Amino acid sequence: MLVVSLNSEKKINQKLENSVLVSLDSVKKTYEDGKISVRALRGIDLKIAEGEFTTVYGPSGSGKTTLLNLIGALDKPSEGQVKINGSIINELDRNGLALLRRDNIGFVFQSYNLIPVLTAYENVEFALKISSSNNGNPVRNSKERSAQILEQVGLGDMLDRRPNELSGGQKQRVAIARALVKEPRLVLADEPTANLDSKTSKEVLEIMLEMNSKLKTTFIFSTHDPMVMEYAGRLLEIRDGKITREERR
């Protein structure tokens, strides 16, 4: 018979709690549009440990993007509590939310959100320049790192092109490089392969998987892409604002 002391059990539980990077407790989100209320999330309880490679999937309008916005501190819940890296976002002001995002989270948006006057290289390096990594000091080798990550996503020969000179798929790759270059603790990707061909999608996912393995970077995807779902270590199905199914691999 295996006997676990109360002291040992307490230590085990504490270790598990310390590994939790994202925590949602009874989270609801309602959007008000005049006299109409849209209930996007209807009570989400979720914990994601550091180093997970998670995919959220479900039909359009199911609440996937709303869920990622809350985890990314881009929005606050109507009810319940969201905690990211120990910070309760409900309690943070605008500046606190901005600092949380800057220091901990990398984003890959469907709409790219690239700065139009900057080149692909400058868009990526900018993410490093505003980062407070290395105790607030400038990140070393920012030029080399920015060029290297663009090379890895297949844009090594397009460093000097501005967003209006790039295709949709190329813009998406710049957005992915920008999210990964500062090596954040958490990367949130909303349909990251939507504008990529299958070969590039696989290459980008392999880069993300390598970061996940080597740096314990936590990834959370929202997607309809079966390839992204195949790479995931944890699948969460969301429908009508609720998590209806979970699978771990």
Neighbours of 232 (CB within 10 A): 22
pLDDT, tens digit, 9 for 90 and up, residues 183-237: 899 999 998 888 888 988 888 899 889 889 988 999 999 999 999 999 999 999 9
- CATH number of the domain residue 211 falls in: 3.40.50.300
Could you read off the pLDDT of 195-209 as tens digits, one per residue? 888 988 888 899 889
Owner of token pair 């120990």: 86
Residue 44 in domain? yes
Alpha helix segments (H runs only) across 155-197: 168-181
Domain membership of residue 186 as a residue range = 20-248
Q: Which of 54, 98, 77, 51 is nearest to 189 (CA)?
A: 54
pLDDT of residue 111: 83
Q: What is the pLDDT of residues 53-105, one digit of tens each?
A: 999 999 999 999 999 999 999 999 999 999 999 999 999 999 999 999 988 99
Q: 121-130, pLDDT tens digit by residue?
A: 999 999 888 8
Residue with tokens 């959100």, as numbered in its chain: 113
Amino acid (one-letter) located at 136: G
Residue ranges in 118-247 assigned as alpha helix (H): 120-129, 142-152, 168-181, 198-215, 226-231
Residue 162 lies in a domain: yes
pTM (2 d.p.): 0.85
Q: How many domains does the chain have?
A: 1
